[in-house]
Amino acid sequence: MASTLLHLSALAFFPALMALSASMDLLTFTIPNQVCVALALGYLVLAASLGVPATDVVLNTSCALSVLALTFAMFNLGWVGGGDAKLAAATAVWLGWSSILDYGVAAAICGGLLTLVILGARMAPLPAALGRLSWVARLHDCKSGVPYGIALAAAGLMQYPGSGIWAAAV
């Protein structure tokens, strides 16, 4: 029973925090640090509990640190938000080097589609009833950015079934 609960936790933890990060970014344009830390630490705890080989954990951690360095540089150039940079790195530890390129491509495609949808919606007038919802008004505001955490989360969820920790859990 405990083993089944552990495996179910491993399968559900990442998707739950991806959904939380996407919804937080949609509603507040912020991805809380606690979510990114929980993702990173959750991977380490679950990987150890599931018996993922230490070499895989080290390689995945090196992938996450590399993604953090890259996305931090992108943040400094104003290309991405800080929460997006941290979320991408926290996601990378779950996916590792074998899936990181596919994750980046999927995130770019999802982000492009998300941006087109939001820009299209911003061209239409916002109904007054929706304008009273602060998160909808902020999303519709042309001065606002795009909650890219949604694209990062969607791309992470697409790649998760191919990850090493998924394989260890199933």
Tokens of 58: 């080290």
Q: Which segments of the chain are extended strands (E)? A: none
Q: What angle do CA 17, 18, 22 make, to 5 degrees?
A: 115
**Residue at token pair 């290309």:** 79
pLDDT score for 1: 62
pLDDT score for 119: 94
Whether 144 and 138 have beta carbons less than 8 Å apart is answered as yes
pLDDT score for 66: 98
pLDDT digit string (tens) for the chain, length 170 residues: 667 777 788 789 999 999 999 999 999 999 999 999 999 999 999 999 999 999 999 999 999 999 999 999 999 999 999 999 999 999 999 999 999 999 999 999 999 999 999 999 999 998 988 888 899 999 998 888 899 999 999 999 999 999 988 988 88
pLDDT score for 2: 61
Q: Is 142 helix (H, G, I), strand (E, B) or coil?
A: coil
Q: How far apart are CA 107 and CA 79, in angstroms?
A: 14
